[in-house]
Structure 1
Amino acid sequence: MSGTARQHLTRRALLGAGTATAVLSVVGAGSAVAAGRTPKAAVRAGARARGYVFLDAAMDAYPEHGTTRLAQSYTDQAGLFSTAFTYDNALAVLAYLAQPGHAARARAMALGDALLYAQTHDPQHDDGRLRQAYNVGPYVYYDGSPQPDGFVRADGTVNIGTQFGFTGTAVGDMAWAGIALAALADRTGADRFLSSAVRIGEWVEANARTDQPLGGYKFGVDGSGAKLPYSATEHNIDLTALFGRLARLTGERVWLERRARAEAFVHRMWDATGGFFYTGTNDGVTVNTSPVPEDTQTWSYLTLRERRHAGSLDWACAHLRVTDTADRPNSTVPAGQSYEGVTFSSASLVADESAPIAPYQPRPDRNGVWFEGTAHLALALRERAQPGDARRAARLLDSLEQAQDRLGQGQTVGGRALPEGSGVVSASSPLDTGFGFGYYPYRHTGATAWYLMAIARANPLRGH
C-alpha cells in the first residue's frame, strides 16, 4: 500500500464493537437488499445510522491513547495509517451536530476540543494555526521507522503528520475548522469554541490577506512557514462562510469587511458565459481557467444562495456527471454494480487512462464517482429546490447509499474490522482529480460526513 500513501503527499465516551453490532442489528445491514420490502424512509434512516457507526469507529480507533482524539480520515487500506485530516474532522463535527441527541453533541464537542487542543499545543507555533493533518495512533512507516504516539505525545504536544509531509497550514482547512468551532459555539454557548474560531480568523487575516488585483485571501503556508502564492476560489468561499459566522457571533463589524473581501474574490471567478466558477489564480493577477472543479460550483451556492449564480449547480450536473460501471477498463466496481454522481473536475473526465495517476498508483477511471462531491451536489440541489432538483438529489442519495452498502467491504480502522455497510468510500474507482492527486475506493470520514449532512439537509456553510 506504499503507493497509495505516496499519492497523498501531493494533496490536499468510547463505543465498543458490541455497540456498533447492536445498532446494525436494528437498522439492517444492507439498505439495498431491504429496499424491495421496506419503506424508503426506514431504509434511509438505517443508512444514516450506519454512517454514524463509521464516524464513531473512526473516532474511537485508538482508545489506549486517551480521550483527546481526532477521527482517522481513511480506512487502514488507504496506506495513510492513522492520519487525521483537519478538514475531515471539521466535517465530522458538523455531521454530529446534524444528528439529534446528547451523544452526538458530546462527540462533536470532543472533536472540537481536540481541534482546540491542537491549536494550543502545536510543537512549534503558538499563533492559532492548525496543521493539514495529525497522527492519532501508532504505526510503523514504510521505511521501518516507528511512529509510536497517539494524537497527544508524552510531552503534551500534538502529533503532527511529519511522515507524510502534512505539516503546512491551508486556509481552506483553517476555515472549515473555524466553521465547525463556530457552530459548536452557537450550539453550546461555550466561549472556548468561539475564541478558538476567532483565533483561526485572525491567523488567516494576518497570513493570507492579499492586495493583489484579484484580491481575496491566498492559500496559506507550507510546512516551513513559507507563504504559498496562489489563491483558491474554494478557500475564499469557505472564508465567506466563516467570517459571516464570526460577524454574527461576535457582533464585530470587522468580520463583515473580511467576509466582503473573500466574497468579492469568489464573484471575480464567475464565468457568465459558461455559468460556472473558475478554480482561482496562481499569481493573483490572472484567472486560472482549467481545470474547473466541482466544489466551487456547489459550495458557492450553499454559501451565497444567489439566484444569479445558481446555474453553477446545473453546470456541475451537466458537465461533471459520470456513471461508473464494472465493464469500464479501469473500474474497480464489482460485477453487476453501477454508480452515478459527479467527478472531481473537468480534468478528471479527460485523464490519461493508460497511465497511473501518480507513481506507484493504479490507472484512473474517467467515470469514477467522487462521492464527497456527489453529496455536496445532493445537498445543494435539495436546498435550491427548483423543479426537478428533488428528483436529481434523490438519485444521488440512492447512489451514495448503495456505495455505503456495497463498496469498501472488509476494510479496517486502527486494525479493527468495520461493521459492513458503514461508511462511504471516497470514490467508486480510482479517479484523477487533475490537481496532482487522486481519490480511491476507501471508506472516508469526509465523504461519510457530507452524506450525513445531505440526508439531514444540514447546510454547514449557511451559519450567518
Structure 2
Amino acid sequence: MWKSTEHNIDIAALFIWLDRVDAKGEWTQHAWQARSFVDAQWDEASAHFWIGTLADGSSPNRGISGLDVQLWAQLLPDADKRWPRALAWVEQKHGVADGFDFNDDRDGLWTEGTAQAALVYRRLGREADADKLFATIAQQASPGGFFYATREPRITTGLAVGGDSTSADFYYYRRPHLGATAWAALAALNRNPFVPLPGSAVKPR
C-alpha cells in the first residue's frame, strides 16, 4: 500500500494539536510516527521531499514531484531547519509564469498551491515574494467570490483519481474551488492552519 507524505504531514500536525488540547490519547506517539515518515521522505542530496512511496509502502516515488508536500512541511511545528531549502526546488521544478504548478510538468498555474507558497514565503519573512504571488492569486477571483482552481482550462497532477484508474486521470479545472479560496484566505491572514491560535485552550499538565 502506497503512503503519502502529504497525508503524514496532515496527521502529524493533527496529533500534535490534539496532544496540546486533549489530555486523553497517545497523541505524542502517533505524532512521532507520522513525523518520522515525513523525515524519511526528505532527500538531502536534492533538498526536497518525495511525494510518498510506491505501492510497496517503502520505496520512494521518484517519478513525480508534488508542490504541496514541499510547502506544507514548512508549516509543521518544529520544522527542520534544512527544509526551507526545498523552496529552491519548488521554484525550479514547479515555477510557472507568476506562480506554481501542482507537479513538475509545469503545464499551468495551480492557485491553491500558489497561495500555499505565498503563506510559506510570509512565514519565512519573504514578503516581497509573497506579494508577487498575491497579485497572481487576485487575478483568479471568480464573480461569485471563490477563487478558480487554475488559470488554464485544465492542468495535470500526474496522479490517479483512485485505485481503479488506469492512467493519471486526476486533473484540476478552471472552476471555483474551495481549497484555492481557503488557502488564499490563510495566506492573506498569515495564518498557519497547523498550529492553534494563541490563547487556545490547552490540556492540564
Q: TM-score range by the shorter chain?
A: 0.7 to 0.9
CA distance in 1, matches of 2:196, 2:37: 20
CA distance in 2, matches of 1:235, 1:313: 20
Counterpart for residue 425 of structure 1: 148
CA distance in 2, matches of 1:234, 1:375: 16
Equivalent position to 1:260, from 28, 32, 54: 32
CA distance in 2, matches of 1:423, 1:285: 38
Deviations, residues 70-92 of structure 1 (Å, cap 9, x unaligned): xxxxxxxxxxxxxxxxxxxxxxx
CA RMSD, Structure 1 to Structure 2 (Å) = 1.5
Q: Does 1:445 align with 2:178?
A: yes
Q: TM-score, normalised by structure 2?
A: 0.86
* Kept after mapping to 1: 8 A contact 2:101/2:109: yes
CA distance in 2, matches of 1:446, 1:341: 16
Query: Per-residue deviation at 1:445?
Result: 1.1
Q: Does 1:236 align with 2:8?
A: yes
Letter in 1 for 2:135: D
Letter in 2 for 1:390: E
Matches within 5 A, 1:387-426: 389-404=126-141, 408=142, 418=144, 422-426=145-149
Q: TM-score, normalised by structure 1?
A: 0.39
Q: Does 1:461 align with 2:194?
A: yes
Deviations, residues 307-332 of structure 1 (Å, cap 9, x unaligned): 11111123212221101xxxxxxxxx
Counterpart for residue 434 of structure 1: 158
* Kept after mapping to 2: 8 A contact 1:278/1:290: no
CA distance in 2, matches of 1:288, 1:258: 24
User: Per the alignment, in what secondary structure is the counterpart of residue 392 of structure 1?
Assistant: helix
CA distance in 1, matches of 2:193, 2:76: 9
Letter in 2 for 1:345: N
Deviations, residues 260-299 of structure 1 (Å, cap 9, x unaligned): 0000000110111111000111212211112010010000
Q: Does 1:319 align with 2:93?
A: yes
Which is richer in helix? 1
Structure 1 segments unaligned to the other structure (5+ residues): 1-228, 324-339, 350-365, 410-417
Letter in 2 for 1:452: A
CA distance in 1, matches of 2:184, 2:91: 17
* Kept after mapping to 2: 8 A contact 1:313/1:380: no
User: Per the alignment, in what secondary structure is the counterpart of residue 397 of structure 1?
Assistant: helix
CA distance in 1, matches of 2:38, 2:196: 18
Query: Per-residue deviation at 1:253?
Result: 6.3
CA distance in 1, matches of 2:180, 2:56: 31
Counterpart for residue 10 of structure 1: none
Deviations, residues 120-139 of structure 1 (Å, cap 9, x unaligned): xxxxxxxxxxxxxxxxxxxx
Counterpart for residue 293 of structure 1: 66
Deviations, residues 196-249 of structure 1 (Å, cap 9, x unaligned): xxxxxxxxxxxxxxxxxxxxxxxxxxxxxxxxx211000000001000011011
Deviations, residues 18-50 of structure 1 (Å, cap 9, x unaligned): xxxxxxxxxxxxxxxxxxxxxxxxxxxxxxxxx
Counterpart for residue 103 of structure 2: 345
| 4+ aligned runs moved over 2 Å, structure 1 | none
Letter in 2 for 1:240: A
User: Per the alignment, in what secondary structure is the counterpart of residue 439 of structure 1?
Assistant: strand
CA distance in 1, matches of 2:84, 2:32: 19
Query: Per-residue deviation at 1:446?
Result: 1.1
CA distance in 1, matches of 2:31, 2:187: 25
Structure 2 segments unaligned to the other structure (5+ residues): 160-167, 198-205
Q: Does 1:373 align with 2:97?
A: no
CA distance in 2, matches of 1:291, 1:322: 17
* Kept after mapping to 1: 8 A contact 2:140/2:150: no
CA distance in 2, matches of 1:375, 1:251: 34
When structure 1 is superposed on structure 2, of 255-264 and 281-290 the one drifting more is: 281-290
Matched positions, count: 185
- Max Rg structure: 1
Letter in 2 for 1:288: N
Q: Does 1:309 align with 2:83?
A: yes
CA distance in 1, matches of 2:2, 2:101: 23
Query: Per-residue deviation at 1:384?
Result: 1.2
